[in-house]
Amino acid sequence: MSLLANEDVLFHQGSLLTPDGQVVASYDIEQQQFTGPYFSLYGEDSIRNAAVRAFRLDYRAASVVQVINGMGVALGDSIIGLTAIEALREFNPDLHAIIYRPAKAPGYVDELYHLAAGIIAEIRWLPWRLANLTEPQPTIDLGNHLFWPAFANMPMIDFFLWALGVDPNLISPELKANRWLERLCLPVISAPGPGKDYVLFCHKASTPIRSIPQAMHLTLVEWLWQRFHCPVLGFTPVEHPHYQDISRFTTDTAHFLSWFKHARYVLTSDSAAVHIAAGFNVPSLAIFTSIKPERRVRDYPLCQPLRLEIPALDNMHASARPQDIALVEQAYQQLDLSRAC
């Protein structure tokens, strides 16, 4: 086992091991007081980690697969990661997947896994004793995937498939569009307006650099109204006569998903919303700032991406630095909505 320096623990490309044999997530360590020492899980021969050594698995011969630290602590990553798990059943419809989750992930993200339990995978939570993981079935470590070089250089769905030991080219585009969301048991919602038609404005991503600036909210809501002439719903206050803030009616992830399921159209950024819209086969417009659209929406035929050219922010996944946000706000002022078909 390799002992990690304190400064390396939070950015380690994989999961961690405590001296008493517990597998833990770097994210959980970040959320609490550092109690090291921690070792890398790299040295365990029974656990595969594509960040260390790429591998291939024949899922036709596997009845069970275990995924440690899957599939991240962001909602969008989780949706696509679960799509990759579901795609493995192209090789073996009876495959049983077990995902070991970080213990302190945001509640709204873990709610997605509760909804998916029994449909996509069995869910367990870290820490977990290493001795109870080293069984005959394949065990894959996806810990801290945000810091893997491949995560920044591949379409996200292809990254997760590759990290699970599959050639992404073997999976059809139809299986990469999150359509498993349609199988979730979701609450009934009541849409406003006599026709019950509505469009969604979803401004927020998991980081400010990929969110729609507040100064653009009214402009984009007006564009939606002029195009569709039906109520515009969203999750933040906007002073517009045909807009309604539904955040108070969106008490959990299940209700959040339901609003997308029944929407006529979605306008969003590089956020979980674009992946949800694709999962429910809802047309969308997604505005991208720092990540190339083909790495996120390549397999979504009903999504139109608009890229804002901000060279200084290329490939930056997250930032709240004022100088970066200023560049985003400046680029949005040049947004040409006539490019949206």
Instruction: Output the pLDDT for position 273.
Output: 98
Instruction: Output the pLDDT for position 152.
Output: 87
Three-state secondary structure readout of 183-208 = HCCCCCCCCCCCCCCCEEEECCCCCH
State the alpha helices, DSSP H only, in 233-299. 253-261, 272-279
**What whole-number distance in Å separates Cα of residue 300 and Cα of residue 276?**
11
Model pTM score: 0.95
* Secondary element (H or E) of residue 16: strand 16-17
- Token pair, residue 340, equals 């949206």
Beta-bridged to residue 285, according to DSSP, are: 267, 304
pLDDT tens column, 304-320: 999 999 999 998 988 99
Point out the least confidently predicted range of 103-107, 131-135, 190-194, 285-289: 190-194
Instruction: Output the pLDDT for position 1.
Output: 61
Position 170 pLDDT exceeds 60: yes
CA torsion angle 331 332 338 340 (round to 10)? 100
Which phi-psi region, left, alpha or beta, contains residue 136 (left: φ > 0; alpha: ψ -120 to 50)?
A: alpha
- Model confidence at 17, pLDDT cuts 50, 70, 90, reads very high
> Any idea which residue has 């999961």 for tokens?
15
Which residues, including other chains, have CB under 8 Å from residue 86's CB and lie 6 or more apart? 120, 175, 180
Among 199, 190, 243, CA closest to 218: 243
Position 191 pLDDT exceeds 80: no
Instruction: Output the pLDDT for position 192.
Output: 66
Domain ranges of the chain: 6-176, 199-339
CA angle, 236 as apex, 224 and 243 as ends, to 5°? 40
CATH of 199-339, one of 3.40.50.2000, 3.40.50.2300, 3.90.340.10, 3.30.465.10: 3.40.50.2000
**What would the mean pLDDT of 207-223 be, rounded to a whole number?**
96
| Rg, C-alpha atoms of the chain | 21
pLDDT tens column, 19-76: 999 999 999 998 886 677 999 988 777 899 999 999 999 999 999 999 999 999 999 9
pLDDT tens column, 80-119: 999 999 999 999 999 999 999 999 999 999 999 999 999 9
